[in-house]
Amino acid sequence: MKRIGLVLLLSGCINSTGNSLVTFQATGAAAPDIGAVQGQPLRFTTPRGFDVTLTTARVFVGALYFSTVEPMTASGSLEAPCVAPGITTGEVRGGLELDALDPTPQPFPVQGLGSDLPTRSASLWLTNGDVNASDERTVVLKVEGEATRGTDTYPFTASFHIGTNRVTPPRNSALPSSNPICEQRIVTPIAFDTTLSQGATVKLLVDPRAFFGSVNFATLEQVSTMPPRYRFRDDAATAEQADTALFNALRANAGPYRLEVAP
The residues near 46 (Cβ < 8 Å, ≥ 6 apart) are 52, 147, 209, 212, 213, 215
- The tally of domains found in the chain comes to 1
- Tell me what pLDDT residue 94 has: 92
d(CA 167, CA 156): 25
- Report CA-CA distances (Å) from 115 to 24, 123, 198, 232, 255: 10, 16, 9, 41, 27
Q: How far apart are the first and last CA of the chain?
A: 30
Segment 73-89, tens digit of pLDDT: 544 333 445 766 689 99
Contact 173, 220 (CB under 8 A): no
Cite the DSSP H helix spans in the chain: 2-14, 182-185, 241-250
d(CA 234, CA 163): 10
Segment 134-159, tens digit of pLDDT: 899 999 999 999 999 999 999 999 99
Share of the chain above pLDDT 70, in %: 85
| Domain with 158 in it | 2-262
Segment 164-175, tens digit of pLDDT: 999 887 767 666
Contact 173, 247 (CB under 8 A): no
Determine the 3-state secondary structure of 34 from DSSP: helix
Burial label, 69 (beta-carbon count in 10 A; 0-12, 13-18, 19+): buried
- Tell me what pLDDT residue 222 has: 97
pLDDT for 27 beyond 90: yes
Segment 53-71, tens digit of pLDDT: 999 999 999 999 999 998 8
